[in-house]
Amino acid sequence: MKTNAKPKLLIVEDDEGLQAQLKWAYDDFEVVIVGDRDSAIAALRAEEPAVVTLDLGLPPDPDGTTEGFAVLDAIMALKPDTKVIVASGHGARESALNAIERGAYDFYQKPVDIEQLGLIVRRAFNLHQIEAENRLLAERTGEGNRVLGRMITAAPEMVKVARTIERVANTNVSVMLLGASGTGKELLARGLHDASDRRNGSFIAINCAAIPENLLESELFGHEKGAFTGAVKTTEGKIELANGGTLFLDEVGDIPLPLQVKLLRFIQERVIERIGGRKQIDVDTRIVCATHQNLEQMIGAGTFREDLFYRLAEVVIKVPSLAERPGDAVLLAKAFLKRFSEEMNPSVSGLAPDALAAIDGWPWQGNVRELENRVKRAVIMADGKLVTAADLDLGADEEGAGVLNLKSAREQADRKVIRHALARSEGNISSSAKLLGISRPTLYDLLKQYDLQA
């Protein structure tokens, strides 16, 4: 619904002279003015302003910052998307850093320059509107920082993987996903299924490494009643259940050689026989498989059939580790925290600055699975509203050997910190530039220079 209502600006200021100046300085906005903490919180609840200007020196502590920071904390708890512009003449630098850490959008030092403050306020309204539109678009499309409908990423390396999957989704080629454990290969396989014309069929997944060798054949091909001791009824196997849909064979390198022969025969003929059965059953399924093992080395060692490999690997997609996806750890950590806090500890509302820094710097050898487990544990154990690095049990990352070429080292460092800033600000250029301490035009130039995307 369209509306001509002016956006609301809440001014929290106890100086009556300054109140009058500020009230008439913003004709574009519906201005609400209050002079203390209780009135500010009441106005926030009643008016839901997009932007707040907040004087830290409020009664009964007009010469300090206690009341002002209490208002800021309340705003961040009640309506964290509000853009709060903090003003103070007390210990400007220390107060500014403290305010930004607590969630403030910007800071300015008194005495107030009405024109300069007006520019900051209008920028804040513009950013609030853009973020609101982006959230609405993300809710409507299911995208945001998601690819394939499920995978959260902003890293070009992972976006490239997703685009490749989208291109092959509506073909019938078999796809091999290669990557370390915990990188999200099953999530990608599900995304491929959902993007294909088989989406209305079943997605059937089986972890070939998790099932004992003597049971794996029955799990895949099914069995007839009485086929072996304990077979008290006829059971369809995973292959049969995937008819009309997608069969995902995780850790395919763990399939024993005798069973590889039977799987190859199915791929060639598209028919199966259950264990103990004589009837041939036609099955139309698309096969996607994954492994963290080097199958080419296994072929050389004679533990994996070369003909089966080429049947399964018509398209090979290498999935990058979390360490190879700069910025994604922060995005994923925020998503995990939101989910786990809603389920287990609603008092936890976010990640502390030291936690964000630790997540950025950690090598994540266990990939996304390790990150998910750490965030889950931290949410359960956290005492405060913000999860800290200590809650995550993360220490400082050891400095790597690095490169010796100074130009290359600088470029790598620039790329890494820019990606991290974009991830923390969820792709917002203004916020990213502020985190980096540079101007928007400079950031745009660097994005172009390093071929990065916001």
CA distance linking residue 362 with residue 373, whole number of Å = 14
Considering only CA atoms, which of 147, 190, 187, 195 is closest in space to residue 170? 195
User: Span 399-454: which CATH code?
Assistant: 1.10.10.60
Specify the pTM: 0.59
Domains 8-141 and 151-320 share a fold: yes
Encoded tokens for 453:
């995307």
Distance CA 237, CA 264 (A): 16
Total residues found in the chain within this entry: 454
pLDDT of residue 308: 97
Q: 64 φ, ψ to 5°?
A: -125, -160
Q: What is the CATH number of domain 335-398?
A: 1.10.8.60
Q: Which phi and psi (to 5°) does residue 26 adopt?
A: -125, 75
Residues ≥6 apart with Cβ < 8 Å to 139: none
Contact status, residue 275 vs residue 217, Cβ threshold 8 Å: yes
Residue 83 in contact with residue 51, Cβ under 8 Å? yes
Given this model, what pLDDT does residue 232 score? 86
pLDDT score for 143? 45
- What fold characterizes domain 151-320? Rossmann fold (3.40.50)
Q: Are 207 and 194 in contact (CB under 8 A)?
A: no
Pairing type for strands 246-250 and 175-178 reads unpaired
Instruction: Look up residue 389 and give its two tokens.
Output: 């690095």
pLDDT of residue 262: 96
d(CA 298, CA 296): 5
What type of residue is 274? R
The domain limits of the chain are: 8-141, 151-320, 335-398, 399-454
Mean pLDDT per block of 10 residues along the chain (454 residues) reads: 71 88 83 93 91 91 86 86 82 75 80 85 84 57 60 84 88 92 93 94 95 92 89 92 96 95 96 93 96 94 96 93 89 92 91 85 91 94 87 62 51 76 76 83 82 68
Q: Which fold has domain 8-141?
A: Rossmann fold (3.40.50)
Residue 87, CB-side half-sphere exposure with 13 Å CA sphere: 22
At residue 140, the pLDDT reads 46
Exposed/middle/buried for 356, CB within 10 Å: 0-12, 13-18, 19+?
Answer: buried
DSSP code at position 206: E
Return d(Cα 329, Cα 420) in angstroms, integer: 9
DSSP letter assigned to residue 322: G
